[in-house]
Amino acid sequence: MLTAVVEAYGYPVRLPEPATRKSKRKWGESKATDLSSIYVMSKLGPDEVAETYSGGIPNAIRAALPKLDLEFFNRVNPHAYHNIPDQLRGRFLKQLAEFGLHPYERKDWAAAEKVAELLELPA
């Protein structure tokens, strides 16, 4: 995931080789891992994560990747921060914007929903 972010944003960072994972997951065992993998595949290609899954990446996921709008990964879901106290939230959101992290746009909600539906497909 870090490699995908570094490459997507052009950070001049040299990353160490990742440790080899001893056990492999099946697609569908962890929605968080699968969601992260979709982001990585969109930036670095399916082969970057395929070997981390026993059974590889489902064909439906591979086929859907080029059609997905994944810009919402680069934006902020404002609902995630609703518990920040009012006196701090405005300043926090302003700082996010100063770093180029802006709230979801209307299309992002629909795009995120499509990815959520894709994650519900049987592996």
- The residue ranges of every structural domain in the chain are 2-119
The pLDDT, as a whole number, for residue 57 is 93
Structure tokens at 88: 């701090």
**β-bridge mates for residue 103, sequence order:** 76
Render each residue's pLDDT in the chain as its tens digit; 123 residues: 667 777 777 777 777 777 676 678 999 999 999 999 999 999 999 998 998 899 999 999 999 999 999 999 999 998 898 899 999 998 999 999 998 899 999 999 999 999 999 998 776
Burial zone of 6 (CB within 10 Å; 0-12 exposed, 13-18 middle, 19+ buried): middle
Q: Per the confidence metrics, is the pTM higher than 0.85?
A: no
The answer to whether the beta carbons of residues 93 and 9 sit under 8 Å apart is: no
Q: 3-state DSSP call for residue 15? A: coil
The pLDDT, as a whole number, for residue 7 is 74
Q: Which residues of 40-59 are buried (b: 16+ CB within 10 A; e: fewer)?
A: bbbbeebeebeebbeebbbe
The pLDDT, as a whole number, for residue 54 is 92
